[in-house]
Amino acid sequence: MASYRINPGLRLVERVDSVQIGYGSRGVVIGGMDGADRKFLHLLRRGLPEGELEAAAEECGISAERGRALLAMLKPVLVVPPPAGLTGLRADRLAPDAAYWSAVYGSDTAELLSQRASAAVHLIGLGRTGGAIACGLAAAGVGTLLLEDMAAVGPADVGSGAYRLADVGLNRAQAARKMIAHIDPTASAHIMPDTTAPGTAAKRPRFLDLVVYTDRDVPSPDAALALAEGGNPHLAVLLRESDALVGPLVVPGETACLDCVDRHQAQKDRDWNEISGLLRQSDSAGLPAVDEVAQSIAAAGIATLQALLFLDGRNRPAAWSAVLQLRSADGTVGRHEYEPHSACVCQLQPDLRRSKQAS
């Protein structure tokens, strides 16, 4: 049976002569509210089964007609509670998240958050930023995390989002799995071998909801090729000397891919291909990591948010076919949108998938 309930994520502010529910774009202000009306509102805060309107109105001391009028005025902030939602410790831990996303999406999201437990995300690159993304997704209720980074945790990896000093020397994937277990023992975290090197296609997991690839400066050609061949949606996070790039969020056959962005950049800068190649070569030159503490937290937060928006499937993330540029100099975030490049082979992917299915 359907129920009426005021969106649990919206604040209820009682004034002398009115009641305001929500103070953002979805807010509603109702004037002329007496004590009985306010009692009815608080009942709606808990939830009211559809067939109990008259009984609830009588209990609050208002007429059924007044109850229906209040429901009509409150329609923009009413949601239908889901038949099932979070349970146990996860329900307690994610209660603030359920309320928050209910306000964002304009619907009761307890069931939506419980569905995150069935999502599988592959994380490639687990430095200070990548590790924080892994922990953020686990904290948000993502059920399966595949962790790929065989490097050892160094002192520069220790930060507020992922590793501790006690983790220094451990394999990054092992240390991240340990942190995830502390956050949510019900989450499933698996250590993955290298899936981006040539000849590792057989090791690449299939049927993923998302891959998050974190690296410095520019994507490695092998990783970009592996992500394209995998055919799974993927989000790139690149840490540079004075900014961080989150995106593009690549959905094969629908958005620009990493190579599309590279081609667009080369059109704007004739030296880009040479520069990007030299940047890739410098990765092995012993340069220090660029995961500065504040920047890594900010980049990880933005990337985690983009990933959750995609997994939830309610709103299109800002990184969809676009790059979000977080500038450390002033903390601003810019957005650069990219169209699929006409010369990129990614435009053939839908046709290739159809031909494989037909065969």
Question: What are the pLDDT digits (tens) for 44-53?
Answer: 988 888 788 8
How far apart CA 301 and CA 275 sit, in angstroms, is 29
Complete DSSP assignment for 92-131: HHTHHHHHHHHHHHTS--HHHHHHGGG-EEEEE--SHHHH
pLDDT score recorded for residue 283: 55
- Residue 329 confidence (pLDDT): 95
Which pLDDT belongs to residue 288? 56
Whether 341 has a pLDDT exceeding 70, the answer reads yes
Q: Does 251 have pLDDT greater than 70?
A: yes
Please tell me the class of the 119-358 domain: alpha beta
Give the dihedral sign, CA 202/245/179/207. negative
Please state whether the peptide bond connecting residue 233 to the residue before it is cis, i.e. omega within 30 degrees of 0. Answer: no
pLDDT of 284 over the 60 cut: no
Average pLDDT score, the chain:
88
Res 282: pLDDT: 62
Between 144 and 197, whose confidence is greater?
Answer: 144
- Is the torsion defined by CA of 255, 323, 234, 266 positive or negative? positive
**Separation CA 222–CA 258 (nearest Å):** 12
Q: What is the DSSP pairing of strand 188-191 with strand 144-148?
A: parallel
| Amino acid found at 101 | W
Residue 47, sorted as left (phi over 0), alpha (psi -120 to 50) or beta, turns out to be left
What pLDDT is attached to residue 2? 56
What are the domain boundaries of the chain?
3-79, 119-358
Query: Looking at residue 320, what is its pLDDT?
Result: 98
Banded model confidence at residue 148, pLDDT cuts 50, 70, 90? very high
The 322-327 sheet, strands edge to edge: 188-191, 144-148, 120-124, 210-216, 234-239, 243-250, 322-327, 333-337
Q: Is the pLDDT of residue 355 over 90?
A: no
pLDDT of residue 354: 41
* Residues 78-127 pLDDT 10s: 988 776 667 778 888 998 999 999 999 988 888 888 889 999 999 999 99
Buried b (16+ CB within 10 A) or exposed e, 239-269: bbeebbbbbbbbbbbebbbbbbbbbbbbeee
Average of per-residue pLDDT across 338-359: 65
Least confident of 82-91, 255-264, 310-319: 82-91
Q: Is CATH 2.30.30 what the domain over 3-79 is classified as, yes or no?
A: no
- pLDDT class for 130, splitting at 50, 70, 90? very high
